[in-house]
């Protein structure tokens, strides 16, 4: 994958001169294959019901850990390679001052990348099944062998009301709130956001997509199981051991990608 020719990252239509194009090309580029993977991640997450018109997925630049790639302000199902913009981890701002408008919550991605050197990809979603477990008394603990990454005790909960600087609209749009969210995430894979959604992280893009999908699957399973009576959760040993399933991430990725492409072709 990394042997593919490198393509200019910033869409050149947003640049105003040859000088600027050269500057951007020298500052950062991304392989066309990786760009394709990020576009596929957007399509998969929409097709799997994790993202709708809102939510986003980003990829840390493999050659420059101080930059990451994220679509412009656009519904994920509509994202193409030309919509991917490079951002600075330090500020959450686009490298190209002429880049199109970004997502309001791109600070989430920058904040997590600043806090966690091990994170290579971030998914922020408003998946309904996850929101349900951010507002009730039941914790989102793992009940499925595919979701041990949640940790035996389940992910932490970020409540914007606990952070005086957070906006009442509950969006994470600034670096300080993103830092608080990252602190709540700690060294985990998922942080729930009360009445809002979840942020899922992983070392790779495919694993981030896998975790985003199976976090939602686990939430749906648990919602079905709770009315049936006492629930048996994965214990710590099982949750840790189930990480082995992520070694199989290419199998669902290829299936989900094929399904997403078929869906896009028929629409």
Which residue intervals of 11-166 are DSSP H helices?
Answer: 18-27, 32-47, 106-115, 128-135
Nearer to Zn ion, 96 or 105 (CB): 105
Nearer to Zn ion, 105 or 179 (CB): 105
Nearer to Zn ion, 61 or 105 (CB): 105
Site string for Zn ion, 154-193 (x = CB under 5 A): ----------------------------------------
Per CB under 5 A, the segment of 28-36, 83-91, 102-110, 138-146 that binds Zn ion is 102-110
Min. distance of Cβ 134 from Zn ion in angstroms? 12
Per CB under 5 A, the segment of 62-70, 97-105, 157-165, 180-188 that binds Zn ion is 97-105
Min. distance of Cβ 64 from Zn ion in angstroms? 26
Min. distance of Cβ 5 from Zn ion in angstroms? 35
Sign of CA dihedral 85, 91, 96, 100: positive
Angle between helices 205-225 and 128-135 (to 10 degrees): 60
Active site residue 105: yes
Min. distance of Cβ 115 from Zn ion in angstroms? 18
Spell out the residues 6+ positions from residue 203 whose beta carbon is closer than 8 angstroms to its own: 118, 119, 120, 121
What part of residues 105-124 is at the interface with Zn ion (CB under 5 A)? 105
Nearer to Zn ion, 192 or 209 (CB): 192
DSSP SS3 for 157: strand
H helix or E strand, kind and range, residue 266: helix 250-266
| CA gap 113, 108 in Å, rounded | 9
Tokens 């991605």, residue located = 109
Q: Which of 105, 179, 246, 261 is catalytic?
A: 105
Strands 197-202 and 190-193: antiparallel
Catalytic machinery residues = 105
Tell me which residues touch Zn ion (CB under 5 A): 105
């Amino acid at each position: 994958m990394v042997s593919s020719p490198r393509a200019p990252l910033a869409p050149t239509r947003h640049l105003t001169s040859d000088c600027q194009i050269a500057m951007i090309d020298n500052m950062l580029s991304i392989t066309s294959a990786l760009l394709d993977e990020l576009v596929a991640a957007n399509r998969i997450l929409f097709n799997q019901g994790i993202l709708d018109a809102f939510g986003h997925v980003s990829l840390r630049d493999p050659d420059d850990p101080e930059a990451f790639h994220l679509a412009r302000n656009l519904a994920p199902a509509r994202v193409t390679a030309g919509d991917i913009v490079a951002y600075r981890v330090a500020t959450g701002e686009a490298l190209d001052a002429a880049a199109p408008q970004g997502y309001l919550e791109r600070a989430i991605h920058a904040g997590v990348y600043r806090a966690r050197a091990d994170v290579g990809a971030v998914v922020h979603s408003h998946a309904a099944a996850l929101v349900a477990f951010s507002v009730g008394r039941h914790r989102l603990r793992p009940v499925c062998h595919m979701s041990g990454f949640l940790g035996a005790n389940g992910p932490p909960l970020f409540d914007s009301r606990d952070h005086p600087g957070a906006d009442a609209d509950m969006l994470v749009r600034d670096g300080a709130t993103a830092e608080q969210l990252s602190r709540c995430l700690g060294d985990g894979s998922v942080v729930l956001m009360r009445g809002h959604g979840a942020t899922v992280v992983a070392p790779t893009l495919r694993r981030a997509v896998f975790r985003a999908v199976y976090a939602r699957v686990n939430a749906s399973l648990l919602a079905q199981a709770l009315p049936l009576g006492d629930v048996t959760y994965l214990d710590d040993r099982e949750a840790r051991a189930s990480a082995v399933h992520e070694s199989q991430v290419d199998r669902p990725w290829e299936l989900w990608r094929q399904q997403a492409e078929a869906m896009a072709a028929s629409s």
